[in-house]
Chain A
Amino acid sequence: MHKRSSKARRVLLPLLNCLFLVLLWQYAVTHRWISPLTLAAPFEAAKVAADSFAVMAPHILATIYATLLTFMLSSLGGIVLGMLLMHWRSFRLAVYPSLVMFQLLPKIALAPLFVVWFGVNILSRLAFAGFIAFFPIVLATLEGLRATDPLLLNLCRSVRASPTQIFWQVRLPYAVPLIMSGLKVGMTLAITGVIVSEFVTAQSGLGYIILFASSNLQIDLMFAALGWISLIGLAFYGAVLLLERIILMRLGAPLRGLSRPGEAAP
């Protein structure tokens, strides 16, 4: 049975391991154990990333911009729709199964269709990525709002709290953890959606760089772009985690055992 490892061990060991793996990778590529056409050496890729920064910067910004906008739109829409569904029972009964079904469908396959609808521009990327990121947020919001402890609701009714008060002061605060976990999934899906639509429309953005580099077999450029995408993904995910902590702290919730980064989607 595992005892919980000490904190230093949990932080230092993976870091050292990561460093070791990167060095091993570098060594393997420079000594031709692995062909540089298969895996770019990490330091070479970093050098390419630094050298080509001027060329890459607009693409990096395009991806960041599209992802942020997508995330904001889909989380706003998702949370508002979740609240509506919570209040309007017949609407919920009608729409909920469709929402769950859409959640399961491989929506990625619709990417080319959004290009047909919205053209080769940022609008099609926003619409497609928003469409992908939206469903988990709605469902998580709805689930969170409906999962309030019935004891609390009974107490509120017995002190004659109005439905508005109950909603804003009890239901919504207690739904925050689930809404935030929906937002975390939504954030990863937003980046995913933006990159996939950059694959499909191939005009700008890091997804375009990756596709372009892979067709020219410029593996180091490809890894440089992959590194940027990973950085952006981690930074945005971290930002959502931070937002969760801040909101929960302001609500006065206990913070122990909160963040479970493993629940993210692709």
Chain B
Amino acid sequence: MSAEAFSANAIQAPRWRNALLRGFASDVMFPLGFIATCLGMLEILSLMLAVPEVLFPAPSRVAIAFFANASTLCYHAGLTILQVVIALAISLAIGVALAAIFTLSRVINDLFAPLFVLLQIIPKIALAPLFVVWFGPGSLSHLGFAACLSFFPILAGARAGFEETSVDAVRLCYALRASSWQTLIHVKLPMALPQLFVGAKVSTTLCIIGVVLGEFVSAQAGIGWYIVQAAALSQTANILAALIVLSLFGLVVYGLVAAGEIMVRRRLFG
């Protein structure tokens, strides 16, 4: 493909506009068209088959529910996302601190690192009710549960990053008599940032899952609570509208983390 395109470009000058249009068509129009087609088919099907709204509301009904309840939904989703952000900050702190300890002390690393790997494989989601017992039915239990669920990818990312720091840089620090703490803060941590962000992106989705699940199990407010309430009242359109709001907010948080990653990469690595 590349050879032909190249020679064609050499002969005929402004082919790029066509290529750009084609790229636009395949990258933007195809996916959007696919989603639009799916929604349209669902709408037509649910109208034609007269599916009861409890079972499957037509997309238009979901849109109506979305706009009718926009302020309530945004309030609950806002509460949830606030908890998500706090939980993410907590798990960042825990994850990086643990990774730093593991890097500084080989004994602690050998003692505890395998246990954390084991903990990671265990389905921790089952702990949700336990956190309610520990912290009571409030946002504290959601925060604890979400942090417990999501700190591991950050720990893994930070450890991978610390270990990948170039040997030469560490040797230079050693030659300059930098303490291992200084080496960690000034050399290893900046070098580990890209890996750390890879972990943080995974953690973001896990934080959202943790908070919402915590709200399923016990809450007085928040989008998880709203969904459970709507499910109890069989308001399927409201469930879907709540999910859309939650997804939008979640994508914003994820986007912010991804933007932070790009910024850090630019500043550190040009």
Contacts and interface: CB of A to CB of B under 8 A. Distances in A.
B110 A109 contact: no
B30 A266 contact: no
Given A38-B134, A115-B231, A266 B251 contact: no
Given A105-B247, A105-B250, A237-B121, A206 B213 contact: no
A215 B170 CA distance: 53
Contact of A219 (B35, B125, B133, B223): B133
Contacts of B223: 109
Q: How large is the interface on B (under 10, 10 to 19, 20 to 34, 35 or more residues)?
A: 35 or more
Nearest to B131: A214
Nearest to A187: B121
Interface in A200-220: 200, 206-207, 210-211, 213-215, 217, 219
B34 A108 contact: no
A106 interface: yes
Contact of A108 (B56, B167, B212): B212
Contacts of A112: 216, 227-228, 230-231, 239
Interface string A1-45: 110010001100110011001000000000000000110000000
A214 B212 contact: no
A234 B122 CA distance: 6
Q: Which of A1, A38, A207 has the most chain B CB atoms inside 10 A of its CB?
A: A1
B231 A104 contact: no
A17 B31 contact: no
A98 interface: yes
B220 interface: no
The A contact surface, by secondary structure, is helix
Q: Which of B109, B124, B125 has the most chain A CB atoms inside 10 A of its CB?
A: B125
Interface in B8-39: 26-27, 30-31, 33-35
Interface string B145-165: 000011010001000000100
Contacts of B109: 2
A99 B106 CA distance: 41
B206 interface: yes
A266 B124 contact: yes
Interface in B92-119: 103, 106, 109-115, 117-118
A188 B228 CA distance: 24
Interface in B230-262: 230-231, 234, 236, 239-240, 242-243, 246-247, 250-251, 254
18 contacts: A2-B106, A17-B111, A21-B115, A95-B34, A104-B254, A106-B205, A108-B212, A112-B216, A112-B227, A196-B125, A199-B129, A199-B213, A222-B133, A233-B121, A262-B156, A265-B206, A266-B149, A266-B150
Which 5 pairs show the lowest CB-CB distances between chains A and B? A112-B231, A214-B129, A94-B34, A14-B114, A97-B31
